Amino acid sequence: MLTLRPAHERGHANHGWLDSRFSFSFAEYYDPAHMHFGALRVINDDRIAGGGGFPMHPHRDMEIITYVLEGAIAHEDSMGNGSTIRPGNVQRMSAGTGVLHSEFNPQPDAETRLLQIWIMPNARAVRPGYEEAEFSEAEKRGRLRLAASPDGEIGSVTIHQDARLYLGLFDGDEHAEHALAAGRKAYVHVARGELTVNGQRLSDGDALMLVDEAAVNLSEGQNAEVLVFDLA
């Protein structure tokens, strides 16, 4: 079964310095039909104005993944981590028993666009943790590159959940197929560009939920960047 989540139906909030689109219920946006998909709880498409950002704030019991599409984001947290994340980087923060962090766009005159992803963990009150990984364009070009997994396989960041995140770039004749094991489902989010997923044409911000499907098939990309979540 295929279920389309059109970009224009997402929640929206514009705070001036922050323009966000919400794939699932978040903050003041509430939609009982879109609370989560399996363990996938949040995909926020955030555009942060130059110099804007989130001051120190708390999280707990959540796996938080940040993926920068354009610009940069400067991160600091109560675990002592501090770094600047740029396109190609994946940042994972396991909030566990509790952590404080801040995120700011360090560029004074340029917008940053990022996806913030929350995955519900399979264990509560774990020790907070932090990790970064870099995935080159070549690793994602015309294929799906594993970026997050429960066991840190092939250089992916490690999350506390039976879930896997793949990243891909597709254009022209490039195509890929990702098999889904029995009992698993997939959430495909097109971050930008256009892409055909299992016969369904998607563009920037669109998503497709797959249940009881044998595989995810990606083809006919036009400058497409895509995230594929393989979920229990």
pLDDT at position 204:
98
pLDDT tens across 91-121, in order? Answer: 999 999 999 999 999 999 999 999 999 999 9
Q: Going from the N-terminus, what domains does the chain have, and what CATH number goes with each?
A: 2-231 (2.60.120.10)
List the structure tokens of 67.
Answer: 């993926």
Residue of 143, 138, 163 lying closest to 153 (CA atoms): 163
The DSSP bridge partners found for residue 22 are 11, 44
pLDDT at position 199:
97
Share of the chain above pLDDT 70, in %: 100
d(CA 216, CA 177): 6
**Where on the phi/psi map is residue 214: left (φ > 0), alpha (ψ -120 to 50), or beta?**
alpha
pLDDT at position 125:
96
pLDDT at position 113:
98
For residue 154, what are the CA distances in angstroms to 11, 135, 166, 192? 35, 11, 12, 26
pLDDT at position 92:
98
The DSSP bridge partners found for residue 226 are 168, 190
What is the amino acid identity at position 95?
A: A
Confidence class of residue 31 from pLDDT cuts 50, 70 and 90? Answer: very high
For residue 228, what are the CA distances in angstroms to 15, 89, 180? 29, 16, 11
pLDDT at position 146:
98
d(CA 55, CA 130): 18
pLDDT tens across 162-185, in order? Answer: 999 999 999 999 999 999 999 999
Whole-number mean pLDDT of the chain? 97
Share of the chain above pLDDT 90, in %: 100
List the structure tokens of 117.
Answer: 């992803």
pLDDT at position 25:
98
List the structure tokens of 131.
Answer: 């990790």
pTM above 0.95, yes or no: yes
List the structure tokens of 185.
Answer: 């489902």
Going across the sheet that includes 99-104, the strands are: 53-59, 99-104, 73-77, 82-85
